[in-house]
Amino acid sequence: MAEAGIGPDTAGIAARLESPDPEIAAAERRRLAAAIPPQRPHFDSLGQEIGYVYGAGGRTEQETGAPLPATEYSPAPVLGARLPHAWVERDGALLSTHDLLFPGFTLITGPAGSQWAAAFAETAGDVPARTVVVGRDFTVVDDSLLERLGITEDGAVLVRPDSHIAWRSGDGSPLSPGTALCGVPDASPRSA
């Protein structure tokens, strides 16, 4: 970043840019023009902005299922990742899956996921929480919605207040819904 003017030589770079000698100023502009593009991944990266996966640590893409380089972003329904965007419809309005979230934990279930909704209502206690069910509270615009959420027709995904996935059941887990959901809001990401 120092080559791009952020660092100990910032004053020197500014002086060369403002030099009364047009050749010095032109040379500095050319140098900066070449130095700035390699810095783009640090400032202009969806992967860095919305692709962070909590709990990924030093794990590889194969271990997390999510791309880890900050220069790339590909939404993935993995624990600790931001909930992938998909278009849905509610009350005739086109919305993002992120518009279904509220300032608390949000459980999104497949159309046959009523057991998860009931279990979540029982276990959430005083934790701010709400449940939205595909087909009941909103309709699918794109048939790939459940795949994007990483769940099946009878599955569910729990989203934290910061829009990151806290828990999901991709297959109607063999655990009972109550067992699977008990304690999730105050625990680290997990999968049933």
Task: Write out pLDDT tens, residues 37-95.
Answer: 887 766 666 666 666 676 654 444 554 555 555 666 677 788 888 899 999 999 999 99
Largest interatomic CA distance in the chain: 76
Domain boundaries, the chain: 2-41, 76-191
Regarding pTM above 0.75, the answer is no
Let me know: does 165 contact 143? Beta carbons within 8 Å: no
Task: Write out pLDDT tens, residues 128-181.
Answer: 889 999 999 999 998 889 998 989 899 899 898 999 888 888 544 555 555 656
User: If residue 61 lies in a helix (H) or strand (E), which one and from where to where?
Assistant: helix 61-64
Decide yes or no: CATH 3.40.30.120 for domain 76-191. Answer: yes
- β-pairing, 87-90 vs 129-133, is unpaired
Which residues are within 8 A (CB) of 92 and not within 5 positions of it... i.e. 6 or more apart? none
